[in-house]
A and B are shown apart, each in its own frame.
Chain A
């Protein structure tokens, strides 16, 4: 918990520094105020062939064009089992190219128990063909390295109906037995969500989601008597302000 506090303090300090930077614009436009942004990508209920679950995936930032303090959180609350995953990230983000931000900071997982802290380096941005990319590398306090790649894409059917395919793949460089993570590709999650944008900044959605353990992780899950893959129907909300 202390590590988490330290991480948050660090990032809040970075945020305060960024907002206080002398970015005074001339010609009567007043000081360029730091912008704030909160985005909820997924806040949804999943009806799975195993256990039903509720998941969240959100991020927020404060800062200017180049420097930002960036916060991310995601987690999963499973019926009958309670909070299974709860992850917080606090990052310093710097724009490095027209479409790309490089991010450095810490990740702290409150769940699974016991909690664990990671160093994070991430690249977030928009790839050609407007594909949203978030690639993160993690190094845990125990020295275990892993990467996570998240991709999604907005396919507009009309101005209001938007189909969003999404994929996430995780890869571990070492086996982490207490998390039932094997070396190599660990999990694949893919989904297809149909959003209806009531306003551009607010869209409920429905969709399907498929999650599967991969390679040696599959074996570890099987040994632990856990599900190796499952389908789910999802319903949720996305929005930003």
Chain B
């Protein structure tokens, strides 16, 4: 831990001269971890750091980018004192950590936020272990640098043994102000697409005319691209050349965190097989792959056994391949691996639009078959549903499965959403090596709740890319939106239907989402990436009473309104009596 005094010594004025290395916390300079602690003092403040030799004015935690490593131990109570030295409200959210709702750090949902010059004390007991992260949930602060790694060591000795651990925090940085980026996207959503279709594409045919007719672009992979982003590995730009050292013969555990605001990363280390052992902090049955896609806010732990006589390039390509975060994994600082060039950029397909290739627009159809409009939520009869025997195959759907209508905020309705769990992600279907898919993920231990869900809630992921509007069920999540209500301890199936052409990393605070991917035990996730035109479902045990944020973790999609509050009712009185 860096103490307050040390931070104050590194005054902002001198920061630029020092360069990023001098200001990095120890772990970010070399990726190495420290031992767990119970108390942390964190200061959110303006800071100037250097990224790719350019001065960057960031909002930092304790003066560094990323913020300090918070290493804790399962079963223990931790205290985190967060002081706000910005001139705007701030907050810190502990992403993926199960805790009381008042400690979750979402202004307007968990608490009022932290006012300038005030200190908020977070206090909670850790009920889990694994690789997580933390970030501001206020305004654009996450994009401006308020994020860092959070690692919880198991209460008992880890059954996963590694000789060395390296933490790799991937993120995106823009020298443009996030407010400016936001306003550009709201008025010209294709602003950052530097591969817009040209006359040559039209002449090539290949259903380009159909894309033009739909007023969409097949090169629309990421809202914000390398045109303004510098992709960072542990706060280092590509020319900052981050280096992680290992000793020959070591088994190295890589804790990879996608802490970016808007960027999906494809992660690989050419020449080195990656054995996936954890995702979103939860242990998985090991799977060995050559590459894996990390949606925004997802984490993944890989075990690697590098050969002792060579260096490796750590490559995290932005999904649209407009840039990459890079580093070196090497037994000696003098030994370096060549960084491979960016691969050819991917393109969307008609499948991503929910169409069979070449089959016109699939807009109509479904609306006639389905009850339209937001059906009134009926919560009166959940009690008996909750006792439905596990053998039941058809689960009541509440609200009845419905899809929103097209309108200013809903550009497209996918008539026939598909399961895409066994697809590795945009751009990774034909890369010539094995890529992790959601279908590969199998939890190491079963979840404590094995009940069948008693009801189903559909969530339509909707948007209009042209107007840069994003929503759930066609409705922006603003102060007045009805929360999604869970009854305490009920088991719910959430069905996500993505009607847009973009991936959305959906994050539920406070509770696990068990991904229904055909594996047993199902993997538990805090963030589930839903592919274009995909239907994917998760099971949730509503064991955490209180209000929780539930949103797309693409920062600007959340800002646009792709969010809801999930409200878990208080425990029933009888239960409370029994406990006292």
A residues apposed to B, CB below 8 Å:
22-30, 32, 35, 37, 65-66, 95-99, 126, 128-130, 155-159, 200-201, 240
What are 18 contact pairs spanning A and B, CB under 8 A? A25-B477, A25-B561, A26-B108, A26-B565, A27-B563, A28-B91, A28-B106, A28-B136, A37-B187, A65-B469, A97-B407, A99-B411, A126-B215, A128-B214, A129-B209, A129-B215, A130-B212, A201-B184
Once the chains are docked, how many angstroms separate the CA of A100 from the CA of B107? 35
Question: Is A129 within 8 A of B408, CB to CB?
Answer: no
Chain B: minimal CB distance from A63 (Å)? 11
Question: Is A27 within 8 A of B199, CB to CB?
Answer: no
Chain B: minimal CB distance from A112 (Å)? 33
> Contact partner of B467 among A23, A25, A32, A65, CB < 8 A?
A65
Chain A: minimal CB distance from B405 (Å)? 11
| B187 contact set on A, CB distance < 8 A | 35, 37, 240
Question: Is A28 within 8 A of B408, CB to CB?
Answer: no
Known A27-B549, A126-B466; contact A200-B479, beta-carbon cutoff 8 A = no
Does B177 sit within 8 A of A, measured CB to CB?
no
Question: Is A98 within 8 A of B407, CB to CB?
Answer: yes
Question: Is B199 within 8 A of A157, CB to CB?
Answer: yes
Chain B: minimal CB distance from A202 (Å)? 12
Question: Is B113 within 8 A of A28, CB to CB?
Answer: yes
Known A35-B186, A130-B212; contact A25-B198, beta-carbon cutoff 8 A = no
Chain B 77-128 interface residues, beta-carbon cutoff 8 Å to A: 89, 91, 106-109, 113
Question: Is B215 within 8 A of A159, CB to CB?
Answer: no
Q: Which residue of B lies closest to A199 (CB)?
A: B191
Once the chains are docked, how many angstroms separate the CA of A159 from the CA of B407? 31
Question: Is A98 within 8 A of B410, CB to CB?
Answer: yes
Q: Which residue of A lies closest to B481 (CB)?
A: A26
Contact flags B190-228 to A (C-beta < 8 A → 1, else 0): 010011111100000000010011110000000000000
Once the chains are docked, how many angstroms separate the CA of A108 from the CA of B538? 58
Does B559 sit within 8 A of A, measured CB to CB?
yes
Does B59 sit within 8 A of A, measured CB to CB?
no
Question: Is B409 within 8 A of A65, CB to CB?
Answer: yes
Instruction: Specify which of A98, A156, A158, A240 lies most central, judged by the most chain B CB atoms within 10 Å of its CB.
Output: A98
Question: Is B215 within 8 A of A130, CB to CB?
Answer: yes
The DSSP consensus for interface residues of chain A is loop
Does B401 sit within 8 A of A, measured CB to CB?
no
Question: Is B199 within 8 A of A155, CB to CB?
Answer: yes
| A240 contact set on B, CB distance < 8 A | 187-188
Once the chains are docked, how many angstroms separate the CA of A109 from the CA of B406? 37
Known A96-B408, A128-B215; contact A26-B109, beta-carbon cutoff 8 A = yes
Question: Is A23 within 8 A of B478, CB to CB?
Answer: yes
Chain A: minimal CB distance from B223 (Å)? 14
Once the chains are docked, how many angstroms separate the CA of A155 from the CA of B198? 7
Once the chains are docked, how many angstroms separate the CA of A22 from the CA of B197? 39
Does B183 sit within 8 A of A, measured CB to CB?
yes
| A37 contact set on B, CB distance < 8 A | 187
Q: Which residue of B lies closest to A156 (CB)?
A: B198
List the 5 closest A-B pairs by CB distance, nearest first.
Answer: A95-B408, A28-B107, A28-B138, A26-B108, A98-B411
Does B396 sit within 8 A of A, measured CB to CB?
no
Q: Which residue of B lies closest to A125 (CB)?
A: B466
Once the chains are docked, how many angstroms separate the CA of A25 from the CA of B412? 24
| B559 contact set on A, CB distance < 8 A | 25, 29, 32
Question: Is A65 within 8 A of B408, CB to CB?
Answer: yes
Question: Is B406 within 8 A of A97, CB to CB?
Answer: yes
Once the chains are docked, how many angstroms separate the CA of A210 from the CA of B183? 36
Once the chains are docked, how many angstroms separate the CA of A240 from the CA of B183? 12
Once the chains are docked, how many angstroms separate the CA of A35 from the CA of B468? 12
Q: Which residue of A lies closest to B466 (CB)?
A: A99
Instruction: Specify which of A25, A95, A128, A157 lies most central, judged by the most chain B CB atoms within 10 Å of its CB.
Output: A25
Known A35-B186, A98-B464, A240-B187; contact A27-B551, beta-carbon cutoff 8 A = yes
Chain B: minimal CB distance from A241 (Å)? 9
| A95 contact set on B, CB distance < 8 A | 408, 467
| A26 contact set on B, CB distance < 8 A | 108-109, 477-479, 563, 565
Question: Is B108 within 8 A of A97, CB to CB?
Answer: no
Chain A: minimal CB distance from B492 (Å)? 21
Question: Is B408 within 8 A of A156, CB to CB?
Answer: no
Known A26-B108, A28-B139, A200-B188; contact A66-B408, beta-carbon cutoff 8 A = yes
| A97 contact set on B, CB distance < 8 A | 406-408
Once the chains are docked, how many angstroms separate the CA of A155 from the CA of B184? 21
| A65 contact set on B, CB distance < 8 A | 408-409, 467, 469, 476
Chain A: minimal CB distance from B239 (Å)? 24
| B91 contact set on A, CB distance < 8 A | 28
Question: Is B408 within 8 A of A200, CB to CB?
Answer: no
| A66 contact set on B, CB distance < 8 A | 408
Does B558 sit within 8 A of A, measured CB to CB?
yes
Does B137 sit within 8 A of A, measured CB to CB?
yes
| A158 contact set on B, CB distance < 8 A | 198
Chain A: minimal CB distance from B43 (Å)? 19
| B469 contact set on A, CB distance < 8 A | 65
Question: Is A98 within 8 A of B466, CB to CB?
Answer: yes
Chain B: minimal CB distance from A198 (Å)? 14
- 18 further contact pairs, Cβ within 8 A, besides A37-B187, A65-B467: A25-B479, A25-B559, A26-B477, A26-B563, A27-B108, A27-B109, A27-B549, A27-B551, A29-B558, A65-B469, A98-B464, A99-B466, A126-B466, A156-B199, A159-B196, A159-B198, A200-B191, A201-B184
| B138 contact set on A, CB distance < 8 A | 28, 30
Q: Which residue of B lies closest to A25 (CB)?
A: B478
| B191 contact set on A, CB distance < 8 A | 200-201
Once the chains are docked, how many angstroms separate the CA of A201 from the CA of B136? 31
Chain B 401-419 interface residues, beta-carbon cutoff 8 Å to A: 406-412
Chain B 7-33 interface residues, beta-carbon cutoff 8 Å to A: none
Once the chains are docked, how many angstroms separate the CA of A116 from the CA of B321? 55
Chain B 558-575 interface residues, beta-carbon cutoff 8 Å to A: 558-559, 561, 563, 565
| B106 contact set on A, CB distance < 8 A | 27-28
Once the chains are docked, how many angstroms separate the CA of A98 from the CA of B407? 5
